[in-house]
């Protein structure tokens, strides 16, 4: 059975970019006769805004995007992430490099625009260095077919580098948590913004290392403002109200026929109409 999910971070109110991802995921699940889950990714406590999770859930309800089963909160699942990390103990190492040191010795920019870590601490921490992050050794090529963006390939050591699974001060990394949770919830299809396309190779690598299934992926264009910046709280994206006009605009963004009727939107749903690009302006 198809199982999809929407997994927002509670850093603020639901904005247009998040709504587009939620609607695409919901439509894909409902058109397949499947289940649609909501997961709140609240591991990064300093960025979590009080009341934001409840506000996101209320907005989804007002828009008619009902979910199945209880809402899952990552902050209550750290024991599962620790168990997964134990399974990877022979493949991980502590890194003491600062951001400046990584930037000075990086192999270039990776798949998601971040500096590619060169493996400086693979053979052990240098004398006097304190551990900053736990990284996993990775190599090889990961290839997958995205349902919208087409065939994707990453040479991990060149495009990603050894990536962080946990910071020394405690928090688990998004890449590990999302892999563990998708598998635990039986997620078969991940529909999300193309700003996360660069993370997919790392997640598939972790799925294989942990012996977990790999879902299908569908990455929609990320919604950007007039300056080309991804819509977010940091770029001043306005909160979505409860009106159906927001849904019509989101359907337009996804290349779908515009309608106020969600049942009709489900019948109309056609991923082939989604633009095959990484970003798209939120307004015509």
User: CA 152 to CA 211: how far, in whole Å?
Assistant: 21
pLDDT of the residue at 284: 58
- Its pTM stands at 0.93
pLDDT of the residue at 173: 95
**pLDDT one digit per residue (tens) for the chain, 284 residues:** 999 999 999 998 898 999 999 999 999 999 999 999 999 999 988 888 899 999 999 999 999 999 999 999 999 999 999 999 999 999 999 999 988 888 777 666 666 667 888 889 998 888 888 899 999 999 999 999 999 999 999 999 889 899 999 988 888 999 999 999 999 999 999 999 999 999 999 999 999 999 999 999 999 999 887 666 676 656 556 778 656 788 999 999 999 999 989 999 999 999 999 999 988 877 65
Helix 16-31 vs helix 245-253: crossing angle, to nearest 10:
80
pLDDT of the residue at 48: 86
Angle among Cα 204, 183, 20 to the nearest 5 degrees reads 80
pLDDT tens-digit readout, 226-260: 666 676 656 556 778 656 788 999 999 999 999 98
* Domain spans, the chain: 3-80+176-281, 89-167
- Rounded to the nearest 10°, the torsion over CA 113, 240, 25, 272 is -80
End-to-end CA distance of the chain: 37
- DSSP notation for 67-88: -SSPPEEGGG-HHHHHHHHHHT
CATH 3.90.850.10 fits 89-167, yes or no: no
Q: Which CATH architecture has domain 3-80+176-281?
A: 3-Layer(aba) Sandwich (3.40)
Q: What are the structure tokens assigned to 155, written together?
A: 């040479």
């Amino acid at each position: 059975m198809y199982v999809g999910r929407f997994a927002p971070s509670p850093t603020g109110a639901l904005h247009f970019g998040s709504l587009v991802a939620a609607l695409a995921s919901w439509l894909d699940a409902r058109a397949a006769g499947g289940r649609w889950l909501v997961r709140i990714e609240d591991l990064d406590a300093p960025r979590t805004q009080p009341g934001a999770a409840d506000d996101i859930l209320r907005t989804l309800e007002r828009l008619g995007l009902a979910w199945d089963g209880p809402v899952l909160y990552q902050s209550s699942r750290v024991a599962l992430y620790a168990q997964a990390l134990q399974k990877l103990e022979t493949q991980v190492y502590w890194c003491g490099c600062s951001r400046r040191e990584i930037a000075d010795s990086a192999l270039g920019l990776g798949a998601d625009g971040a500096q590619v870590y060169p493996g400086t601490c693979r053979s052990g921490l240098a004398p006097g260095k304190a551990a900053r992050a736990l990284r996993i050794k990775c190599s090889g090529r990961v290839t997958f077919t995205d349902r919208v963006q087409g065939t994707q390939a990453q040479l991990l050591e060149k495009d990603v580098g050894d990536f962080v699974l946990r910071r020394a001060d405690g928090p688990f990394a998004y890449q590990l948590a999302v892999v563990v949770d998708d598998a635990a919830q039986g997620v078969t299809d991940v529909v999300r913004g193309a700003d996360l396309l660069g993370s997919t190779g790392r997640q598939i690598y972790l799925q294989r290392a942990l012996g977990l299934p790999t879902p299908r992926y569908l990455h929609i264009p990320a919604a950007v403002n007039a300056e080309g910046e991804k819509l977010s709280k940091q770029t001043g994206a306005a909160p979505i109200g409860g009106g159906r006009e927001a849904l019509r605009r989101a359907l337009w963004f996804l290349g779908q026929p515009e309608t106020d009727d969600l049942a009709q939107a489900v019948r109309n749903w056609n991923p082939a109409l989604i633009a095959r690009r990484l970003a798209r302006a939120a307004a015509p």
